[in-house]
Chains A and B, each alone.
Chain A
């Protein structure tokens, strides 16, 4: 190190001075060194280099910065588009207003259209198509069939077939439920869960398929794994549940939650695919815990449509339900139970209203597949009508939300983690190799 400094110094001393300007700069810098406090080593070396810097003009630097920026934008064009979608919930290169093209409502045809979207988006869309051909669309069509069942099914033979499959799936589920219940030796759950779920979203005007069967109790053994997915809300909660699961039951878990993600922008992060991949890769996963919401109440692009689907529009809802159904379908295919956390109240009015709406979608899709939906508002001491950062506990008020009005404090995270743990029943394995 020292020899390097000396050689640099010597180089500077021996180097002929090019012009007066450089000499002055050198003097100025030396004076500055004496007044500013800077670590000795760096200061000494940087002096040797200033003589080389002198003549870079601001114009040249501007051109340099501009060229670099343009080139990087060109290289990462697709990533930047995705970033803009996620951040501004619109395509900045598409000047059109964000409206839904309602006339193209025929979902069967429109979703199958292929267009020139980025690579990841195409992947995401492939998944959507896959699901349509399986169960998920059936949920949608089943919903429609409640409203106008005979007309709808008469027109579309595909839907008739799907409905039959859906019915069969329900029969299989029922049988599986009975078998599992017998195997676990667990009595049926009381009715209270439904009332809890309903109190979560007081303004639901949504008519969905009535719940045929209550969800099975969540039972895990030492050999099972729990899989956490979600956004920054889950990032806060999952570590506590992971610790509790391991401490209490030695149950391992996997947490892939990632901030700023959800179901709205699969080309930014494709959750249905990620979940499916992980469920295939790790058959030990028996419970999927999901927590999404605040990143989703925005318009998003839909393949085959020139403009963004407007949040809460029919097209938006259809697409979003498909994505929820894809997740639930993956879980079903791999015999994994789902515990979905309702998005709690938010301080900002618009975001809060978005969460109420999203919860209705989550809840109704979960009811169709008889999975668990966990209310979070009561746990955090707020309602959708009245936001609060605090929950009253005896005489004291515990702060459960941080000041951004979205995320949780450590206390809030622990409360939710405990609530998740309360939903999980640990079953000892026969043979006594578990705790």
Chain B
């Protein structure tokens, strides 16, 4: 059930009424949330709900063992993390690596035939695996005591964040579940702004860009001019941002209406002056997770310069692989890794922020183009497709452009984009100052317009596939 569907909207309003009818009973509210989360997971497939429950039991068992065992806590942590990773790998990566593994076995003359199995990837597995890792590590570090089982089950399955994040940390999210005082709706005006923005971003802007610019250009790049192909790359960068940040806005808004605060995932990433800053602004919950649970345990920047760059590459490659079992995602991760390594080398020899100090707009321009280039690998499922695009981009100078107006529009957007930074906060502020009687009229008007201009059909959440 898509969170932008009519069905979800109506069910959510009913759920909202029931949920707040039990305002004085937060424990019961938790049960309601748990039940609804499992129902949503089950609406994709009953198997997914069963897998999630078994996984929850297994990780909970490991957390109890880590907390109770003084001598072997570390062993139990390793076992728990291994179980989580193996579970993820089996469901998500088995098929991808089956060919390579089989070739290896054949090469070693081992007569083992790997089974050809059809496994559906459980919805949200990438996200709840990361949630559980943060929980196990927090238990080991004694930042948290073992949660109650049903609280932990809700932490893993909390419906606003299970499908496509943001990635919650046990340390900050479990205390929000385990409250004994009645909850309240948090920042309602911000929640409204986020929900309206989500509809605008995903339904309208993202949908229009995808339908009019991305799909036609990417379907056969060879037919288009260099200028058009640039529009295609820019447009996909915009679409993926609008789609994913819109989704995050929506679930953050929903969570606030239920009295929960989710970590912020986006902070105008295309305003970044360099690639490092981009990762501080794009999918923040993932990049911080990778920093804390992969990059720093590998040694971070505490060791030699070369070792730091190796750690960066490892972290970015894993980040790419996390997005999906495909060579394109690995290349995408590698491009970001190489980009950051090059940036580190430049910083070392020219001083940190050499370009930014001289011309911030050029820094942003270079960063934006490099990011657009990397998105090409994210979109294209195979390397030859991406190479076709790049070949056309570098050769089709003489073909007539069909998207000149689009190109100019994007140039204007690039220049005025920094002014948009305050729009969400400004909207929230204006809403909070508006007479409450007018609020429904404002929402109806904005949503009417948004849906009117949006292309038909409920758009997919790109990140729900990861």
A interface vs B, CB < 8 Å? 1, 4, 32, 35-39, 41-42, 45-46, 48-50, 52-53, 56-62, 64-69, 71-73, 75-76, 79-80, 83, 238-239, 242-243, 246-247, 252-253, 255, 258-260, 268-269, 389-390, 396-397, 399, 403-404, 410
Given A56-B185, A72-B444, A396-B99, also A36-B261 (CB < 8 A): yes
Q: With an 8 A cutoff between CB atoms, is B284 at the interface?
A: yes
| Contact indicator A35/B172 (Cβ below 8 Å) | yes
Residues of the B chain whose Cβ atoms lie less than 8 Å from the Cβ of A53: 187-190, 432
Given A35-B172, A68-B443, also A56-B189 (CB < 8 A): yes
Residues of the B chain whose Cβ atoms lie less than 8 Å from the Cβ of A239: 218-220
Given A68-B444, A76-B451, A252-B223, also A58-B20 (CB < 8 A): yes
| Contact indicator A46/B187 (Cβ below 8 Å) | yes
Q: Taking CB as reference atom, which chain B residue is nearest A66?
A: B13
| Contact indicator A58/B185 (Cβ below 8 Å) | yes
Given A36-B172, A403-B118, also A45-B189 (CB < 8 A): no
CA of A246 to CA of B396, assembled, Å: 13
CA of A76 to CA of B440, assembled, Å: 16
| Contact indicator B425/A49 (Cβ below 8 Å) | yes
Most chain A CB within 10 A, of B10, B121, B281, B422, is at B422
CB distance from A426 to the nearest CB of B (A): 16
Identify which of B188, B218, B264, B288 contacts A56 (C-beta below 8 A).
B188
Which 8 interchain pairs have the tightest Cβ spacing? Answer: A58-B20, A52-B432, A242-B220, A239-B219, A56-B188, A39-B267, A45-B425, A67-B440
CB distance from B424 to the nearest CB of A (A): 8
CA of A27 to CA of B187, assembled, Å: 14
| Contact indicator A39/B421 (Cβ below 8 Å) | no
CA of A255 to CA of B223, assembled, Å: 13
CB distance from A202 to the nearest CB of B (A): 24
Identify which of A57, A246, A259 contacts B457 (C-beta below 8 A).
A259
| Contact indicator B13/A41 (Cβ below 8 Å) | no
| Contact indicator A410/B264 (Cβ below 8 Å) | no
| Contact indicator B121/A49 (Cβ below 8 Å) | no
Q: Taking CB as reference atom, which chain A residue is nearest B439?
A: A64
In the complex, chain B residues 401-442 whose Cβ is within 8 Å of any chain A Cβ: 418, 421-422, 424-425, 428-429, 432-433, 436, 439-440
19 sample A-B contacts, Cβ–Cβ < 8 Å, listed by A number: A35-B172, A37-B172, A37-B288, A45-B425, A46-B187, A46-B425, A52-B189, A53-B190, A58-B16, A61-B185, A64-B443, A65-B16, A68-B447, A69-B10, A75-B444, A242-B220, A242-B223, A390-B116, A410-B382
Q: Taking CB as reference atom, which chain B residue is nearest A239?
A: B219
CA of A64 to CA of B435, assembled, Å: 13
Residues of the A chain whose Cβ atoms lie less than 8 Å from the Cβ of B288: 37
| Contact indicator B381/A410 (Cβ below 8 Å) | yes
| Contact indicator B219/A255 (Cβ below 8 Å) | yes
Given A68-B444, A72-B451, A76-B451, also A243-B222 (CB < 8 A): yes
In the complex, chain B residues 160-209 whose Cβ is within 8 Å of any chain A Cβ: 172, 184-185, 187-190
Residues of the B chain whose Cβ atoms lie less than 8 Å from the Cβ of A76: 451
| Contact indicator B388/A243 (Cβ below 8 Å) | yes
Q: Taking CB as reference atom, which chain B residue is nearest A387?
A: B118
CB distance from B309 to the nearest CB of A (A): 26
CA of A210 to CA of B6, assembled, Å: 48
Q: Taking CB as reference atom, which chain A residue is nearest B220?
A: A242
| Contact indicator A246/B222 (Cβ below 8 Å) | yes
Residues of the B chain whose Cβ atoms lie less than 8 Å from the Cβ of A253: 220
Q: With an 8 A cutoff between CB atoms, is B149 at the interface?
A: no
| Contact indicator A41/B267 (Cβ below 8 Å) | yes
| Contact indicator A399/B95 (Cβ below 8 Å) | yes
Binary CB contact string for chain B from 91 to 107 against chain A (1 if under 8 A, 0 otherwise): 00001000100100000
Most chain B CB within 10 A, of A58, A66, A83, A242, is at A58
| Contact indicator A75/B190 (Cβ below 8 Å) | no
Residues of the B chain whose Cβ atoms lie less than 8 Å from the Cβ of A403: 118-121
Q: Taking CB as reference atom, which chain B residue is nearest A68?
A: B443
CA of A146 to CA of B444, assembled, Å: 58
Given A246-B222, A403-B120, also A61-B188 (CB < 8 A): yes
Identify which of B17, B187, B451 contacts A62 (C-beta below 8 A).
B17
CA of A46 to CA of B216, assembled, Å: 40
Residues of the A chain whose Cβ atoms lie less than 8 Å from the Cβ of B118: 389, 403
Q: With an 8 A cutoff between CB atoms, is B257 at the interface?
A: yes
CA of A53 to CA of B439, assembled, Å: 13
CA of A76 to CA of B450, assembled, Å: 12
| Contact indicator A62/B116 (Cβ below 8 Å) | no
Q: Taking CB as reference atom, which chain A residue is nearest B193?
A: A49
| Contact indicator B436/A60 (Cβ below 8 Å) | yes
Q: Taking CB as reference atom, which chain B residue is nearest A414?
A: B382
Most chain A CB within 10 A, of B120, B288, B381, B428, is at B428
Most chain B CB within 10 A, of A69, A73, A75, is at A69
Residues of the A chain whose Cβ atoms lie less than 8 Å from the Cβ of B189: 49, 52-53, 56
Residues of the B chain whose Cβ atoms lie less than 8 Å from the Cβ of A38: 263-264
| Contact indicator B443/A1 (Cβ below 8 Å) | no
Residues of the B chain whose Cβ atoms lie less than 8 Å from the Cβ of A242: 219-220, 223
CA of A94 to CA of B425, assembled, Å: 44
Residues of the B chain whose Cβ atoms lie less than 8 Å from the Cβ of A75: 444, 448
| Contact indicator B447/A72 (Cβ below 8 Å) | yes
| Contact indicator A71/B444 (Cβ below 8 Å) | yes
CB distance from A79 to the nearest CB of B (A): 8
CA of A38 to CA of B166, assembled, Å: 12
In the complex, chain B residues 243-278 whose Cβ is within 8 Å of any chain A Cβ: 257, 261, 263-264, 267
Most chain B CB within 10 A, of A46, A73, A253, A390, is at A46
CB distance from A118 to the nearest CB of B (A): 13
| Contact indicator A42/B223 (Cβ below 8 Å) | no
| Contact indicator B222/A62 (Cβ below 8 Å) | no
CB distance from A391 to the nearest CB of B (A): 11
